[in-house]
């Protein structure tokens, strides 16, 4: 399966590394806003021995239509920013390229665009694409359904420079019908990402915790999604659409 990657920051580099190491996928190109490393390759930068092209292009000097024509891909994985979907989305949808977006924060206009693109191609969006945190989200929702009235708190921890409340924490709070203003945020050192949901029962607590050890978790999550949407019809999908069969069909495996 041929992959085009948008974004080459810390998360994008980790995702590129995972794709390059996976023999079932081919990283055809990387598109980034910066002109740094333009026309070099992701595999050289990351030191991975592979046949993947992985050439790096800059949006400043690249026409996306030309890129899609010269280097066709099956799926685009987006780890850039909320503006990017407006720069490549319509062109990708017209060509039937599937889109996986891992952007943390979209406004209503951005989400409306994603849903319009989903009328022409397969579009997946999750503010946190790690498999483990979405397992936590799904499991927390199930627990809340069987324990109505339980006290629930959400705690999110990230590296010191991260601004704003975690988009993942907001999604967890919304799924559990909690006030997002009550999310407890911690910023310290180089924490990659940790999310905890505390269920307070009388005289006891249940805690669901997910911690990202490495940003490569974003890459394995993105490829898990790619594998699970490759045969899906056009439409707008999220992790619940993908995970539900694994929870309710014992024959499936998340590993």
Q: What is the pLDDT of residues 202-223, one digit of tens each?
A: 999 999 999 988 889 999 999 9
- What pLDDT was estimated at residue 249? 65
Average pLDDT score over residue span 231-240: 94
> Closest by alpha carbon to 68, among 28, 40, 106?
28
> Closest by alpha carbon to 11, among 89, 82, 80, 87?
80
Binned at pLDDT 50, 70 and 90, residue 253 comes out as: low
**CB of 77 within 8 A of CB of 49?**
no
> Closest by alpha carbon to 104, among 86, 123, 122, 130?
130
Cα–Cα distance, 49 to 219 (Å, whole number): 18
Give the chain's domains with CATH numbers: 2-125+216-248 (3.40.50.720), 131-212 (3.30.360.10)
Q: What is the pLDDT of residues 6-30, one digit of tens each?
A: 999 999 999 999 999 999 999 999 9
């Amino acid at each position: 399966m041929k992959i085009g990657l948008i974004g080459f920051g810390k998360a994008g580099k980790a995702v590129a590394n995972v794709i390059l190491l996976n023999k079932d996928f081919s990283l055809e190109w990387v598109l980034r806003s910066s002109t740094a490393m333009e026309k070099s390759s992701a595999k050289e930068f990351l030191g991975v021995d592979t046949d993947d092209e992985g050439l790096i292009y800059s949006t400043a000097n690249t026409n996306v239509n030309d890129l899609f024509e010269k280097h066709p891909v099956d799926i685009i994985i987006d780890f850039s920013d909320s503006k990017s979907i407006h720069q490549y989305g319509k062109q990708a949808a017209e060509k039937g390229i599937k889109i996986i977006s891992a952007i943390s924060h979209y406004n209503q206009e951005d989400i409306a665009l994603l849903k319009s693109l989903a009328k022409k191609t397969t579009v997946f969006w999750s503010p946190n694409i790690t498999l483990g945190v979405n397992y936590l989200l799904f499991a927390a929702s199930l627990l809340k359904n069987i324990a109505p009235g339980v006290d629930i708190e959400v705690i999110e921890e990230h590296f010191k420079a991260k601004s704003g409340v975690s988009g993942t924490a907001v999604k967890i709070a919304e799924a559990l019908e909690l006030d997002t203003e009550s999310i407890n945020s911690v910023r310290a050192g180089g924490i990659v990402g940790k999310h905890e949901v505390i269920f307070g029962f009388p005289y006891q607590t249940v805690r669901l915790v997910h911690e990202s050890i490495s940003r490569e978790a974003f890459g394995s999550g993105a490829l898990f999604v790619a594998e699970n949407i490759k045969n899906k019809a056009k439409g707008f999908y999220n992790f619940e659409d993908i995970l539900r069969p694994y929870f309710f069909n014992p024959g499936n495996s998340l590993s």
